[in-house]
Amino acid sequence: MKGSPRNGFNGNDFSIHLFGRTTLTQSNRYWRLSEDPFSNRTATWFFAGTPQKTALAELSAVLPTQPQGVAITAARYGGMTTLLRHLSTYHGIGDMATQFLFTKSRGRIDPQPIQNQLANGLQLPCSNHATFEQIESAMNQIHEAGIHPVWLSDGYSAGVTRLLKRLRRNCKFTAVISTIDQYAERSCELLGQATSLLTLQRFALEDTRQFIQQSMMRAGAKGESFDESAYVAIHDASSGRIGTIAELAMNALVVGYKQKLRRVTGATIERMCRNESSEKKPAEFYDRSA
């Protein structure tokens, strides 16, 4: 299973493909869960492990200085998308009023879809076909009102590069661009010499344990469905990446249901990883790199 993780922490997306919605529903009933414990599609819950708390604290220290750019890196499937989405719900950092604008930018060559997302964040009525001039005007109005615009770009792409260069000519804002570790230098070059470089670290074992336990409790679990050896096995197989942790845990619950286990154990995880290691997983489930 190592090297085949989930993006964000939507562990149920691949599980739906692998097992089917009906099987997942039956699995949830078996474990007495009210919802898929590792889905973030319908819930507002955000798990703040040590890496998330550290990254948010570092961003909170940097953004009030209104830098031109911040590059934040992570391992593939390390939870970057979820972190930026959570940050986009903030209305300020410290004493600074802030307008966060989140865009899904990874792999975008054409800047128009990114412009449309910015327009939606700016609450423009023409968000489906926004012009560059409308985006530029709205961002300048926000800045003149004493609110600092912060563009949270989930990913680095040619579309981001083109749009960023144009906006910087007449707009004052901060661009926060997420990227995987190997593209950090390229992102810094795009953002300029004054760029701050931050890193979203991987989970320690305790973060992995807390994430699984809190996810299960949020879904209504009573008692422990995973034993300690399962936490260790999931952590080792995932290399501390939250997307992989979510996928492994979700799939393990289905395996446990099928085998009528009382608890998921380390042996369950190890067998599952061996059985799935030869399977080729569909590319559509790896549409984001962090």
Confidence of residue 185 (pLDDT cuts 50, 70, 90): confident
Quick: pLDDT tens for 190-216.
787 667 889 999 999 999 999 999 999
**What sign does the dihedral 90-136-171-142 (CA atoms) show?**
negative
Confidence of residue 148 (pLDDT cuts 50, 70, 90): very high
Amino acid at 15: S
pTM over 0.95: no
Confidence of residue 128 (pLDDT cuts 50, 70, 90): confident
Cβ atoms < 10 Å from Cβ of 205:
14
Q: For 50-200, which CATH class? A: alpha beta
State the fold for domain 12-45+203-286: Helicase, Ruva Protein; domain 3 (1.10.8)
Cβ atoms < 10 Å from Cβ of 50:
13
How far is it, in rounded angstroms, from Cα 58 to Cα 74?
Answer: 14
Give the residue extent of every domain in the chain.
Answer: 12-45+203-286, 50-200
Tokens of 141: 């109005």
